[in-house]
Amino acid sequence: MDITTAITRQDCESLDQADPLHAFAAEFEPGEKGTLYFDANSVGAMPRAARANLDRLLSEWRRMRRRGWSESDWLDAPRRLGAKLAPILGASADEVIVCDTTSVNLFKALAAALALNPGRNRIVSEAATFPSDLYVAQELVRAFPGTAIDLVDEGGAIDPAVDDRTAVVYLSQVDYRNATRHDISTITRRAHERGAMTVWDLSHGAGAVPGDLDASGADFAVGCGYKYLCGGPGAPAWMFVARRHQDKVRPLLAGWMGHNDPFVFARDYTPGAGMKRFLVGTPAVLANAAMEAACDIWARVAPAAVFAKHASLGDLIVRLVDQGAAGPGVSLASSRESDRRGGFVALRHPHAPQVVAALGAANVIASYRPPDSIRFGLSALYHRHVEVWDAIERLAQILARETWRDPRFAAGKKI
Amino acid sequence: MDITTAITRQDCESLDQADPLHAFAAEFEPGEKGTLYFDANSVGAMPRAARANLDRLLSEWRRMRRRGWSESDWLDAPRRLGAKLAPILGASADEVIVCDTTSVNLFKALAAALALNPGRNRIVSEAATFPSDLYVAQELVRAFPGTAIDLVDEGGAIDPAVDDRTAVVYLSQVDYRNATRHDISTITRRAHERGAMTVWDLSHGAGAVPGDLDASGADFAVGCGYKYLCGGPGAPAWMFVARRHQDKVRPLLAGWMGHNDPFVFARDYTPGAGMKRFLVGTPAVLANAAMEAACDIWARVAPAAVFAKHASLGDLIVRLVDQGAAGPGVSLASSRESDRRGGFVALRHPHAPQVVAALGAANVIASYRPPDSIRFGLSALYHRHVEVWDAIERLAQILARETWRDPRFAAGKKI
């Protein structure tokens, strides 16, 4: 598009016509007619195949019962789903499993990283990292006496905080409030130069922006299954461990599915080879069925096309804010540069909670994070540029008319 | 029934006609016609309401997306499902949550129990405890330096192993191979007399035999959701913490759902009150929908009626073995006394894997555990006495004709 003149809705239509991922939108269930969902940062859309997958599983539950463990594909799902997700994460098929929740996987990854670096006792993280990640670390360190967490203040550089006492650099790839994205490659390289491991939480990046886990040299990573990855509300999470570390780690959180041969029922834990040892309990068979519908889409999509379209959708919001099309009083909270942004674009407004509530009433689903962030979660798989245009137009109307001052929006929305 | 003469199929019909739980069978999906499923110890039958619950959730995923977190009941499920399960466990509504897997919940419970007893450094368990439970403990103890596990050999008494160094008595209520059931009350009382905590795994008892968690004084307990409780393959597990301990424990495995107020996004972890602090990551919304169909049944059933009928089904197998109706070469591996048995009855046969495979080919689903156990998992909610009769009759035919010697049964079945 021509960046010297204002972008029009017709320009957006042209972008959509040229979109190589256009056909993927049809693989997702539409939501309510007329509603624009920009909440891929919270709950991604439902793949149409999720229902058929769940129907198959319900049928197996009904007919097979315990035989499903041996005669269906239930037990293999963590490995199989992980292999299908690996390309969009920039990982190899044998480096990713789907299991448990993001927080539980963070616990496993951080415990493993600390164990691999026993002579050191500092974890470097950020004050603005997603709070659950901090909670995991704050309580886990009790299992590693003498270990403490150094929090880099907001806006501070990570690099100077990493020294020869640092065991692990433990970061969210993307700031959950403003989408600011770290460069995994650079931070990982510098951490390695100083002898530190890295543990990355890609929840607000995976399925939207590059993770490049193998190319960046990342040691451990985890992420959410239900945001951009579209695995369904509360979907199982994923976990990545670089191949070079897998067989060196004895998991602190161990269970039978991580045993080398669980059905021998040996008394002693012998960790399985590779990623298997990072499994703990019985897989969530029904939840995996829904998640697999999403993984089957990710296995067919070209990651570069996803990242290019995602950047284009985000850049469109930036352009619209620049040309005043987003309405008065709103500014960009995220970076102008797509390679510095994660899965959403955040705008800033002093009455963000009320504006998000008013957007909801106008059938635009965005989300609020304190203190003043309005987040538009973008999916390269199902969003069209014209939907972004229409959402921003509705925002402009709300701001111009000050609709958000309506008392029914005073409570805001928390999630 | 008259115990002086052989029991007949007609006697079984009489028992079924008098069964006060008779109507509950209609709340479950039938399996394949002609197949007798005695695998409630592995995957319980599917409540008919599971499909409608999942349909509702798929519709919410499709229509509501992120609004489901605030406008539906997704986030409340761990507490709500736990409250519905509590009566069948003999617990109070505010002592049970549904979340994670059995192994992850064991980790949380054992870590909490050890933390509550810091002056002691021994865990007393059994060599024959379910292996995953041992794996959890074997690896977790690294977080509690100096702590070791004392394993009581098979058949040995727990009591003499508990002394003033014992922090926790850590046991399966029911032996997964032969259904031998511990008396939670007695062991817990003696543990408490010696200053030790108790952590119980009720996976092979909950929904079948009494747990009596409150009456027995149990400190911590966990269990599987997908066996007798009928929550669906890989269903979320449950966790019990006695009310007196809940607010004293700082969880080692912590996450945002356990925070006192997760949506304030505070930097520091402040554990929530009561059971909330034992939550970690985002709830498994779809899996909880299926599990809730089961919990809604448990909330309506009289626990005493469940336990009485379950005992009657198990006693019937004992009687049939006694009168030679189970065929040649088979003997009882479980106790003759129903109050010493868990959720299944195990028979012993030197070629158990082949016999279980031959039973499967004859449309009787049982399961094998090394070395020689044939397990019949019994559900008080959906099994009829005549089904037990018919299954044992088919077993007798297989043993009398030595059908199990057929080479196609040589591989056996592992799960």
Partner residue facing B256 (CB), from A74, A132, A365:
A132
Element (H, E) at B334: none
Task: Select from B342, B372, B352, B4 the least CA-distant residue to B176.
Answer: B342
For residues A220-242, give the mean pLDDT.
98
- What integer pLDDT is reported at residue B138 of this predicted model? 98
Comparing alpha-carbon positions, the chain B residue that sits nearest to A29 is: B62
Element (H, E) at A117: none
The answer to whether B281 contacts A102, with C-beta atoms less than 8 Å apart, is yes
- Residue to mutate among B63, B286, B373, with most A CBs inside 10 A, is B286
Comparing alpha-carbon positions, the chain B residue that sits nearest to A256 is: B132
- What integer pLDDT is reported at residue B3 of this predicted model? 58
- pLDDT tens per residue across span A22-49: 999 999 999 999 999 999 999 999 999 9
Contacts of B31 in chain A (CB under 8 A): 62-63, 65
- What integer pLDDT is reported at residue B415 of this predicted model? 46
For residues A370-377, give the mean pLDDT.
94
Task: Select from B243, B171, B248 the least CA-distant residue to B214.
Answer: B243
- pLDDT tens per residue across span A113-145: 999 999 999 999 999 999 999 999 999 999 999
Closest-CA distance of chain B to residue A28, Å: 9
Comparing alpha-carbon positions, the chain A residue that sits nearest to B271 is: A135
**CB half-sphere exposure, A198, CA atoms < 13 A:** 30
Mean pLDDT by 10 residues, chain B (415 residues): 79 98 97 97 98 98 96 97 98 98 98 96 96 98 95 94 97 97 97 98 98 97 98 98 97 98 95 98 98 98 98 98 96 97 98 96 94 96 98 98 93 55
Instruction: Give all strands (DSSP E) within B258-313, no chain letters.
Output: none
Coil/strand/helix, residue B245: helix
Contacts of A286 in chain B (CB under 8 A): 54, 232-235, 286-287, 290
- Per-residue burial over A342-353, b = 16 or more CB atoms within 10 Å of its CB, e = otherwise: bbbbbbbbebbb
The answer to whether B39 contacts A66, with C-beta atoms less than 8 Å apart, is yes
Contacts of B68 in chain A (CB under 8 A): 43, 233
Partner residue facing B104 (CB), from A104, A151, A360:
A104
The answer to whether the CB of B43 falls within 8 A of the CB of A68 is yes
- What integer pLDDT is reported at residue A155 of this predicted model? 86
- What integer pLDDT is reported at residue A415 of this predicted model? 46
Contacts of B140 in chain A (CB under 8 A): 252-254
For residues A297-301, give the mean pLDDT.
98
The answer to whether the CB of A179 falls within 8 A of the CB of A161 is no
Mean pLDDT of chain A: 96
Both tokens of residue B162? 């508990």
How far is C-alpha A203 from the geometric centre of its chain's CA atoms?
2
| pLDDT level of residue A3 (50, 70, 90 thresholds) | low
The answer to whether the CB of B57 falls within 8 A of the CB of B286 is yes
- Residue to mutate among B33, B53, B75, B132, with most A CBs inside 10 A, is B132
What residues does A238 pair with on adjacent strands? A98, A223
The answer to whether B236 contacts A284, with C-beta atoms less than 8 Å apart, is yes
Strands B166-172 and B148-152: unpaired
Catalytic residues of B: 130, 201, 226-227, 375
The answer to whether the CB of B319 falls within 8 A of the CB of B385 is no
Residue A412 pLDDT greater than 60, yes or no: no
- pLDDT tens per residue across span B215-224: 999 999 999 9
- Per-residue burial over B16-52, b = 16 or more CB atoms within 10 Å of its CB, e = otherwise: beebebeebbebbbebeeebbbbbbbbbbbbbebbbe
Integer distance in angstroms from the first to the last C-alpha of chain A? 35
- What integer pLDDT is reported at residue B410 of this predicted model? 86
**What distance in Å separates the CA atoms of residue B320 and residue B8, rounded to the nearest whole number?**
9
How far is C-alpha B249 from the geometric centre of its chain's CA atoms?
25
The answer to whether the CB of B150 falls within 8 A of the CB of B124 is yes
- Residue to mutate among B37, B48, B65, B365, with most A CBs inside 10 A, is B65
Closest-CA distance of chain B to residue A214, Å: 26
Comparing alpha-carbon positions, the chain A residue that sits nearest to B145 is: A143
Count of other CB atoms within 10 angstroms of residue A142: 14
Size of the A and B interface in Cβ pairs below 8 Å? 281
